[in-house]
Amino acid sequence: MRNLSARVRGAPDRLLRDVSLSVAPGEVRGLVGESGAGKSMIGKAVLGILPRAVEVLSGEILLEGTDLLRLAPADRRRRIGATCALIPQDPLTALNPSRRIGPQMTDRLIDILGWSRTKAQDRARDLLAEVQITDPDRVLRQYPHELSGGMRQRVLIAAAFAAEPKLIVADEPTTALDVTVQKEVLRLIAGMQARHGTALLFVTHDLGVVSKVCQSLTVLYGGLVVENTTLRDFFPAPAHPYARALLAATPKYTDPGSSLVPVPQAVLDGVQAQVVAADRGWRNG
């Protein structure tokens, strides 16, 4: 993704300010930032599901060399359907309640990839087994409400990998889950990603999660990329003061008594000034 800018139609300010980031094949990139920093917006832009009110002003989204934004809507849809997938935030609303699991997993394989029904079903069964669902055949025939939250998230993970996508966007996949299930789901996603060699864009606000599954990360503030780095460089010493403060604000399990450290006002002022500076260039240009 290069220099992507977007805003709410007609609004004076941009939601995304010249965002550039890339995910290499097989790489897991964390995308962190506060609420409203534009993390999910980036994920949605990549997948072509931005809300109608949001318009892309400039920039390009390159997928294997093709700019998705240049494609006609129908082509873009097929392209994304064949190469990208989403692991959504809330497993409770991410499956259609009135359709069985099976068709929901195989739709894409049949419609976009043109597989036969039996082949798609075999594939879905294999993947459910891979995410450690004990009775895949039964689950395929079940409705979402018959499964627990954790089970549904497994189904969604399996479904995301079904078409062997090049890129998966995981939009806070563990936020809506019970803490006890979170770790398991994380391990599952990481394991699947490693086995399938998929590029993964992992949207989260939890640096702890980032440290466990990602190789690189992008820190976002106010729709502006403040740090784009590898995990190895980030955790000992983040380059940007805001990123440093964010890291310092993460509660430490080793020292539960310590009080939460808020991001200092000076740092916030600094990063805010940076946002304003970025906008000045944009308005002039």
Partner 1 sequence: MADGRGQVRRRLGLRLWLSAGWLTLLLLAALLAPWISPKDPLAQDLFLARLPPFWMDGTEPGYWLGTDSLGRDVLSRILHGARVAMTVALVAGTLTCVIGAALGLLAGFLRGWVDMVISRLIDIWMAFPPVLFSILLIAVIGPGLGAIILAIVVIDWTRFARVVRAEAMAQGAMDYVASAQVAGRGRTGTMLVEVLPNVLPLIVVLLTLEMGIAVIVEAILSFVNLSISTDDPTWGGMIAEGRTSVHQAWWVLVFPLITLFLTVLSFSQLGEGLKDRFDPVLR
Beta strands in the chain (DSSP E): 2-8, 14-19, 28-33, 54-60, 62-63, 66-67, 84-87, 167-171, 199-203, 216-221, 224-230
How far is Cα 145 from Cα 39, in angstroms, rounded to an integer?
Answer: 29
Q: What is the footprint of partner 1 within residues 242-281 (CB under 8 A)?
A: none
Q: How far apart are CA 117 and CA 273, in angstroms?
A: 56
* Closest residue by Cα to residue 40 from 169, 197, 211, 227: 169
Q: Which is nearer to partner 1, 162 or 219 (CB)?
A: 162
275, 274, 218, 279: which is closest to 246 by C-alpha? 218
Q: Is 88 in the site for partner 1 (CB under 8 A)?
A: yes
Among 27, 34, 60, 90, binds partner 1 (CB under 8 A): 90
Residue 212 structure tokens = 């466990």
3, 20, 96, 230: which one binds partner 1 (CB under 8 A): 96
Which two structure tokens, joined as six digits, stand for 12? Answer: 């004076």
Binding residues for partner 1, rule CB under 8 A, total: 33
Distance CA 207, CA 235 (A): 10
The minimum distance between CB 52 and partner 1, in angstroms, equals 6
Q: Are 64 and 11 in contact (CB under 8 A)?
A: no
* Residue 17 binds partner 1, judged by CB under 8 A: no
Q: Which of residues 57-86 bind partner 1 (CB under 8 A)?
A: 74, 77-78, 80-82, 84-86
Interaction of residue 49 with partner 1, rule CB under 8 A: yes
Nearer to partner 1, 69 or 275 (CB): 69
Rounded Cα gap, residues 164 and 25, in angstroms = 12
Task: Choose, by CB under 8 A, the member of 10, 12, 65, 98 that binds partner 1.
Answer: 98
As a whole number of angstroms, the distance between CA 85 and CA 80 comes to 8
Give the residue, chosen from 9, 117, 141, 145, that forms a contact with partner 1 under the rule CB under 8 A: 145
Shortest reach from residue 124's CB to partner 1, in Å? 13
| 47 binds partner 1, rule: CB under 8 A | yes
Tell me, residue by residue from 147 to 176, as one string, x for binding to partner 1 by CB under 8 A and - for no binding: ---------x--x-----------------
Question: In the complex, which residues of this chain contact partner 1 (CB under 8 A)?
Answer: 44, 47-49, 52, 74, 77-78, 80-82, 84-86, 88-90, 93-99, 104, 107-108, 111-112, 143, 145, 156, 159
